[in-house]
């Protein structure tokens, strides 16, 4: 168990996990530090770069206090992909999204609600005694796996979500241009490496949006020869869940079944995101359509409009498949990640139930070196054959 040093004048010299807190959070931080065997450091004692040698860091600081944010930023040094975790504890409430955006701008890799953080922190820190990766090697590793582009995408998403929450304008052209960079990065490092890397660096809705964007970019790299179509799909993926910035985290992260009211709140997110983007002007109509209808299902059971079959445009169907695939391969507090193979198998089943477009599923499978049968009819025939044989 590491020593619990006096907070004043303590400079961490090792990679032992550390909790950094401000005066108002000190009592709660000390309780957590003693339960989890963490070193503790008060924000008053944080000097430039002092937090850099620490592999796993838990931050319990008021992120709406400008001075605190400045101290943290200088203590964290240059923000870049790194091994280890930076878990920021945020409180629930009206300011939660502002806190989250601030935490991400400080390089957070995990956003945890204080009320429910203990178990997740214990899990995170249980692997923290791994041998530290030398910084240069870590940087090279992260870079090879798309780390720089992922970090940049995370920041762009944080900016987007922040603008949405504040109903502030966004530079649509810059975001489209940025989508092109993601396409290039995913092509360079490969879809698998990008997906694995995203899971190392981000949590929650940002992780999901990064995964959907990477999946859509991979799909486009494999199957869309038209650059314009590629950019539209990637931009739609970046934007698709913007409306979720308004959905409280306790609903988004709820492990069990949602109540009717909670589901009604979730169902608002496509139109909220769409309406915000429409107000910006200059967003392509196909992109707007994809944001509004990415939860529609071919059998009419989706939302918000219960569209059916041909009423759902081809690009929307592709985004829906990428969205579901990304949700399946991401780990959530209440479920482990599925492998890409399992995710495709689940999507094939959904295609058999007339929920999603089979050709979009099949094309996505090819991205991950799988080749399901050419038609849904062949899938059904194979299944019947299997049933007869068993
Ligand atoms: Fe969504
Ligand atoms: Fe989504």
Q: Which regions in the chain score pLDDT beneath 50?
A: 1-14, 127-141
pLDDT of residue 104: 74
C-alpha span between 257 and 240 (Å, rounded): 23
Assign domain 18-134 one CATH number from 3.40.50.1970, 3.20.20.70, 3.40.47.10, 3.40.50.360: 3.40.50.360
Distance 269 CA to ligand 2 centre (A): 10
* Ligand nearest to the backbone CA of 213: 2
Interval between CA 187 and ligand 1 midpoint (Å):
25
pLDDT at 301: 97
> Which of these, 78, 81, 46, lies nearest to 60 by C-alpha position?
46
Quote the distance between the C-alpha of residue 137 and its chain's center.
Answer: 25
pTM: 0.65
User: CATH says 145-389 is which class?
Assistant: mainly alpha
Closest-CA residue to 356 (of 315, 296, 311): 296
What would the pLDDT profile of 313-334 be if each residue is shown by its tens digit?
999 999 999 999 999 988 776 6
- Give domain limits for the chain: 18-134, 145-389
The secondary structure of 353-372, three-state, reads: CCCCCHHHHHHHHHHCCCCC
Say which residues have a Cβ less than 8 Å from residue 5's Cβ, sequence separation at least 6.
Answer: 39, 40
CB 282 within 8 A of CB 172: yes
Give distance in angstroms: CA of 205 to centre of ligand 1.
Answer: 10
Question: Residue 368, Cβ neighbours under 10 Å: how many?
Answer: 19
Compute the distance from residue 151 Cα to the ligand 2 centre, in Å: 19
> How far is it between the farthest Cα atoms of the chain?
74
Report how far residue 198's alpha carbon sits from residue 196's, in angstroms, rounded to the nearest whole number. 6
Ligand nearest to the CA of 293: 1
pLDDT in tens, 148-192: 677 777 778 777 887 888 888 888 888 888 888 888 888 877 777
């Amino acid at each position: 168990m590491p020593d619990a040093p006096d907070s004043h004048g303590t400079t961490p010299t090792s990679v032992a996990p550390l909790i950094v807190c401000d005066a108002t959070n000190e009592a709660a931080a000390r309780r957590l530090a003693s339960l989890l065997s963490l070193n503790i450091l008060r924000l008053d004692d944080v000097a430039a770069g002092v937090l850099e040698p620490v592999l796993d860091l838990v931050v319990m600081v008021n992120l709406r206090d400008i001075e605190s944010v400045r101290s943290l930023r200088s203590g964290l040094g240059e923000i870049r992909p790194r091994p280890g975790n930076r878990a920021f504890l945020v409180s629930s409430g009206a300011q939660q999204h502002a806190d989250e955006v601030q935490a991400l701008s400080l390089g957070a890799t995990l956003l945890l609600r204080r009320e429910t953080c203990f178990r997740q922190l214990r899990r995170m820190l249980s692997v923290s005694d791994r041998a530290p990766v030398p910084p240069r090697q870590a940087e090279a590793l992260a870079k090879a796996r798309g780390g720089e582009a992922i970090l940049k995408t995370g920041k762009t998403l944080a900016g987007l979500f922040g603008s949405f929450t504040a109903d502030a304008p966004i530079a649509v052209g810059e975001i489209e241009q940025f989508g092109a960079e993601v396409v290039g990065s995913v092509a360079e490092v490969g879809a698998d490496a990008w997906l694995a890397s995203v899971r190392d660096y981000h949590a929650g809705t940002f992780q999901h949006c990064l995964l959907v964007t990477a999946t859509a970019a991979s799909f486009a790299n494999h199957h869309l020869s038209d650059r314009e179509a590629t950019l539209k799909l990637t931009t739609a993926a970046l934007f698709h869940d913007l409306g979720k910035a308004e959905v409280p985290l306790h609903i988004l992260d709820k492990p069990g079944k949602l109540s009717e009211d909670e589901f009604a709140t979730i169902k608002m997110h496509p139109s909220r995101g769409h309406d915000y983007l429409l107000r910006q002007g200059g967003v392509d109509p196909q992109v707007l359509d994809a944001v509004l209808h990415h939860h529609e299902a071919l059998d009419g059971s989706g939302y918000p409009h219960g569209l059916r079959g041909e009423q759902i445009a081809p690009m929307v169907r592709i985004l829906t498949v990428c969205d579901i695939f990304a949700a399946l391969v991401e780990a959530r507090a209440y479920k482990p990640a599925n492998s890409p193979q399992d995710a495709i198998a689940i999507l094939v089943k959904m295609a058999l139930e007339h929920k999603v477009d089979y050709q979009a599923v099949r094309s996505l499978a090819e991205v991950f070196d799988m080749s399901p049968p050419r038609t849904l009819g062949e899938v059904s025939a194979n299944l019947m054959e299997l049933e007869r044989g068993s």
